Amino acid sequence: MEIFITGRGVISALGRDTEENFKALRNQSTGIRLGSYADYPDKYLGTVSQSSEELSDFHSLKNGYSRTALLGLTAAKEAWGGLEASDSCKTGVISGNSVGGMDRTEKHIINLINTGENGDIRSILSHPCGYSTSLISRIIPNCSYANTISTACSSGANAILQAAKLMQHGKLDRVLAGGTDGLSNFTVQGFSSLMIFDAVQCRPFDANRAGLNLGEGAAYLLLENEKSLRESGNTPLAKLAGFGIANDSFHQTALSPTGKGAVLAMSQALNRSQLNAEEIDYINTHGTATENNDEVELTAIQTIFEENVPHFSSTKSYTGHTLGASGAIEAVYSLLAVNNNCVFPSLNIKEDMNHDYPALKEVIDQEVTNVLTNSFGFGGNQTTLIVSEC
Partner 1 sequence: MLKLKYINTFSGINVQNSDPKRQDWLDILNDEVGEITFPDFKKYIEPRKLRRMSKLLRMTVSCANCCVENMKGFELRGIIVATGLGCLDDTRKFLVEYSQNNSASPTAFIHSTHNTIAGQLGLLLQSHSYNITHANTGACFENALMDASLEDHNTNEWVLLGGVDEQIDWLDKLKIQLEDFSSLNLGSGCTFLALSATKTNGAVALQDVDSFLLSNEISAKNRILQFLEQNNITAGSLDLILTNQEIDIPDYGEVEQINYQSYCGSYFTNSTFGIEFAIQRIRSGDKNVLIINHHEEKQIGLTLLGDA
Whichever of 220 and 312 has its CB closer to partner 1, that residue is: 220
Chain centroid, CA 229 distance in Å:
25
Whichever of 38 and 113 has its CB closer to partner 1, that residue is: 113
Whichever of 370 and 382 has its CB closer to partner 1, that residue is: 382
Looking at residue 331, its amino acid is A
Task: Kindly state the smallest distance separating residue 385's Cβ from partner 1, in Å.
Answer: 14
**Residue 234 DSSP one-character state:** P
Whichever of 194 and 199 has its CB closer to partner 1, that residue is: 194
Task: Name the 3-class secondary structure at 300.
Answer: helix
Contact 283, 373 (CB under 8 A): yes
**Residue 177 DSSP one-character state:** E
Task: Kindly state the smallest distance separating residue 354's Cβ from partner 1, in Å.
Answer: 28
Task: Kindly state the smallest distance separating residue 310's Cβ from partner 1, in Å.
Answer: 25
Whichever of 217 and 261 has its CB closer to partner 1, that residue is: 261
Task: Kindly state the smallest distance separating residue 15's Cβ from partner 1, in Å.
Answer: 28
Contact 100, 68 (CB under 8 A): yes
Task: Name the 3-class secondary structure at 242.
Answer: strand
Phi, psi angle pair for 23, to nearest 5°: -60, -45
Whichever of 50 and 253 has its CB closer to partner 1, that residue is: 253
Task: Kindly state the smallest distance separating residue 30's Cβ from partner 1, in Å.
Answer: 26
Whichever of 121 and 354 has its CB closer to partner 1, that residue is: 121
Length of the chain: 390
Cα separations (Å) of 360 from 213, 286, 343, 363? Answer: 20, 14, 8, 8
Task: Kindly state the smallest distance separating residue 161's Cβ from partner 1, in Å.
Answer: 8
Nearest CA to 222 out of 385, 369, 80, 377 is that of: 80
Task: Kindly state the smallest distance separating residue 208's Cβ from partner 1, in Å.
Answer: 24
Write out the residues near partner 1 by the rule CB under 8 A: 92, 98, 105-106, 109-110, 113-114, 118, 121-122, 124-125, 127-131, 133-134, 137, 142-152, 158, 162, 165-166, 169, 171, 185-186, 189-190, 192-194, 245-253, 260-261, 264, 377-381
The sign of the torsion formed by the CA atoms of 286, 287, 290, 291 equals: positive
Q: Which residues pair with 386 in a beta bridge?
A: 242, 372
What span, in angstroms and rounded, lies between the C-alpha atoms of 256 and 278?
25
